[in-house]
Amino acid sequence: MSIFTFPHYKNIAITPRRSVKELKMSEKIADFRNAHKGTTYAKNAEGKLVAQSNWESVSEIDLYGAVYGTLTVEGDINDPDVNSGECSWAGEGFSPDGTRTVGFQSGTWEKIGNHKWALKMAGKDSKSGAVYTESEIELETLIWSGTVYAG
C-alpha cells in the first residue's frame, strides 16, 4: 500500500485503499474546468524540479463552488521528456452557501499528445470523503478539465 505525502503541508498524508489503477469509476460527483493561473518552480533535496501550478475554476463547480488549488509534479534533469509520472493536488472550494471544502489527491499523469496530459488521482475531500478524478490538461488552452467520482 502506498502512502502519498505532501511535502509542503506538514502532517498530511493520504493512504488510498486501492491503487489508482485499481479504482473503478462510481457515482459522478462533479465535472470541472480549471484555468491555469501560474506556476512556480524549485529544486528539491533529490535534485529534481518541483513544478507547482495554480488553478482556478472557470465557473462554480457543482457541490464545490469556486475552486482554487495547486497541482504538484516533479521533473528529472536527466530525463526531462518522460511520458508519465506522479502528481498531487491540494485545494479548496468555496460553496455559495458559505461552506468550505478542503481536498487532497495523489496519482499519476501520462502524456497523451503534444503538450497534453491525462491525470488519474485518488484521495479525500472534506465534503465527499473518498474521491477519484480523471482529467486532462492542455498546454495550448491552459485548461484542466475532468470529472470527480465518489471513490
pLDDT in single tens digits along all 151 residues of the chain: 333 443 433 333 433 433 444 445 579 999 999 999 999 999 999 999 999 999 999 998 888 999 999 999 999 999 999 999 999 999 999 999 999 999 999 999 999 999 999 999 999 999 999 999 999 999 999 999 999 999 8
What Rg do the C-alpha atoms of the chain give, in angstroms?
15
Cα separation, 36 vs 24, in Å, equals 28
Grid cell at residue 148: 470527480
The full DSSP string for 128-139 is TEEEEEEEEEET
Going along the chain from its start, the domains and CATH numbers come out as 4-150 (2.40.160)
Output the pTM of the full model. 0.82
- Quote the pLDDT of residue 19: 42
Reduced to 3 states, what is the DSSP secondary structure of residue 56?
A: strand
Q: What is the pLDDT of residue 62?
A: 83
Closest to 57 (Cα-Cα) out of 101, 16, 14, 20: 101
Question: For residue 136, how many C-alpha atoms fall within 13 Å in the half-sphere facing its CB?
Answer: 9
Please give the pLDDT value at position 3. Answer: 39
Could you identify the residue written with the cell 485548461? Answer: 143
Cα-to-chain-centroid distance, residue 3? 16
